[in-house]
Chains A and B, each alone.
Chain A
Amino acid sequence: MVKLLCILGLGLCLCASLRAEDVAVRLPSGVEVVSERFAAPQGPILLWITGDHGSVEAESRAAADLAGKGIEVWLTDWLGPYFLPQLPGSVAQVPDQDLGDWLAAIRRQEPGRALLLMASGHAADLALRAARDARERLHQETRGVVLLFPLLYRGLDIGIEPDYAAVVDATRQRLALLVPQSSAGFWWRERLKERLEAAGSQVALTVLPGVRDGFYRRMDATDGETAAGAHLGETLWRLLQDVLGDIRP
């Protein structure tokens, strides 16, 4: 009977980590940022910035997978609190200070736990700005940042070599970049890597063959992309393990 109760209890604990709860952080500016928290007590916390593309099932599944492996994940929509539309230009309207204050609040709430950031596409700018603000203004270091098919150009115009967002030259982080092979970004990945390294970041680049940008959230996903999306948690786990060193609790 005791053994049965223990097994049931363990099962309940595991199930609890695979369900998300909403957690709200109110910032000094008055903005309230709400995250879906996939808990993994005592483990590092991966702050996954979303919002530029709506809620995506593959992200929730991946977050649950990672939590099951001991990495707590906070899926966080950063456009919603400002009522910003899901357009590329919206990320520029999120204040740096709010991003840094968010990290600081989480650090106070969860002392001693490593914080990692992750974002995709245009939201990559938010992740880098959050880490920079925390470091420069609050002297708090983020353990590392994962960028999935990052879109960090500062405007694009025909015939003109695009520059990168200002934060690229102000980032000094351990970075992991995941770049789909079927992507325009694949051809310019080394250019971005070199620019980030020139600013002082350590950059590990992983190319994912057979998929496009946003592979796990495309309406026109190929069979290969659907399969890759189903294994997103595994892909992110390997990326985190391979690139950011020992992040076990």
Chain B
Amino acid sequence: MMRILILFLALGLGTPASAAELKDLAPRPAASLRLPTLDGKQVDLGQLRGQVVLVNFWASWCPPCRKEMPSMNRLSRLMQGQPFVILGVNAGEGIETVQGFLKHTPVHFPILLDEKGTSLKPWQAFVFPTSFVVDKRGQIRMGLLGSIEWDAPETVARLRTLLAEK
């Protein structure tokens, strides 16, 4: 019971306890996203047309965010060679904090730094973690409040459906 309460505190959810669900969404253009990575390069979502992109908003203080990262690493490995990218957008933390966290929890996908949280409003991220799956044409197709096991077979199958689209 206490774990459920901590989850809701972390997420700020106002809904009764239920498993997080990757939902299909009516297609709509993804908001722009152009942020620096840890090594100072700029990543622009608009330059990733032709790929399926998982955009994940997280913070190191967020327990469900930390919990799903290993499954995101596994998903990244599963999708190697496919036109698929995971972008982990850290909101509100400085580079040292993020680097310190990643030393203990390494990830195998790009981490983007949004220290001022400027992407949260256009992307409507009201809780952490919030994730969106963007198709090859730059349309948001799926979304998730909370964390899941991203390499679960049914989730991978749904992502592969988007990969198969032209």
B117 interface residue (CB < 8 Å to A) = yes
Q: Which B residues are in CB contact (< 8 Å) with A182?
A: 59, 61, 92
Please give the distance in Å from A230's CB to the nearest CB on chain B. 19
- Given contacts A184-B127, A186-B92, is CB(A121)–CB(B9) below 8 Å? yes
A81 interface residue (CB < 8 Å to B) = no
- Given contacts A158-B25, A188-B126, is CB(A214)–CB(B14) below 8 Å? no
Report whether A86 and B5 are in contact in the complex, using a CB–CB cutoff of 8 Å: yes
User: Among B2, B11, B63, B144, which residue has its beta carbon within 8 angstroms of that of A184?
Assistant: B11
Report whether A86 and B1 are in contact in the complex, using a CB–CB cutoff of 8 Å: yes
Please give the distance in Å from B164's CB to the nearest CB on chain A. 23
Q: Which B residues are in CB contact (< 8 Å) with A53?
A: 5
B12 interface residue (CB < 8 Å to A) = yes
User: Among A89, A151, A152, which residue has its beta carbon within 8 angstroms of that of B16?
Assistant: A89
Classify the secondary structure of A's interface with B: loop
Question: How many residues in B have their beta carbons less than 8 Å from beta carbons of A?
Answer: 38
Report whether B143 and A87 are in contact in the complex, using a CB–CB cutoff of 8 Å: no
Q: Which residue of B lies closest to A161 (CB)?
A: B124
Most central of A151, A159, A187 by chain B CB within 10 Å: A159
- Given contacts A214-B9, A218-B9, A219-B2, is CB(A155)–CB(B63) below 8 Å? no
Q: Which B residues are in CB contact (< 8 Å) with A155?
A: 14-15
Report whether A158 and B144 are in contact in the complex, using a CB–CB cutoff of 8 Å: yes
Q: Which A residues are in CB contact (< 8 Å) with B2?
A: 219
Report whether B143 and A159 are in contact in the complex, using a CB–CB cutoff of 8 Å: yes
Question: How many residues in A have their beta carbons less than 8 Å from beta carbons of B?
Answer: 35
- Given contacts A187-B120, A212-B9, is CB(A158)–CB(B143) below 8 Å? yes
Report whether B6 and A153 are in contact in the complex, using a CB–CB cutoff of 8 Å: no
Report whether A187 and B25 are in contact in the complex, using a CB–CB cutoff of 8 Å: no
Classify the secondary structure of B's interface with A: mixed
A122 interface residue (CB < 8 Å to B) = yes
CA distance A186 to B11 in the complex (A): 12
Most central of B5, B9, B126, B140 by chain A CB within 10 Å: B9
Q: Which A residues are in CB contact (< 8 Å) with B16?
A: 87-89
CA distance A32 to B18 in the complex (A): 31
CA distance A160 to B143 in the complex (A): 10
Report whether B126 and A88 are in contact in the complex, using a CB–CB cutoff of 8 Å: no
A154 interface residue (CB < 8 Å to B) = yes
Report whether A87 and B9 are in contact in the complex, using a CB–CB cutoff of 8 Å: no
Report whether A158 and B61 are in contact in the complex, using a CB–CB cutoff of 8 Å: no
Q: Which A residues are in CB contact (< 8 Å) with B128?
A: 184
Chain B, 59-98, CB within 8 A of any chain A CB? 59, 61, 63, 91-92
A213 interface residue (CB < 8 Å to B) = yes
Report whether B12 and A151 are in contact in the complex, using a CB–CB cutoff of 8 Å: yes
Chain B, 82-140, CB within 8 A of any chain A CB? 91-92, 117, 120-121, 124-128, 130, 132, 140
- Given contacts A158-B143, A184-B128, A187-B120, is CB(A88)–CB(B15) below 8 Å? yes
Report whether B92 and A88 are in contact in the complex, using a CB–CB cutoff of 8 Å: no
Chain A, 7-66, CB within 8 A of any chain B CB? 52-53
- Given contacts A158-B23, A159-B124, A184-B126, is CB(A89)–CB(B15) below 8 Å? yes
User: Among B6, B13, B120, which residue has its beta carbon within 8 angstroms of that of A214?
Assistant: B6
- Would you list the 5 A-B pairs with minimal beta carbon distance, nearest first? A158-B143, A182-B61, A214-B9, A153-B14, A89-B16
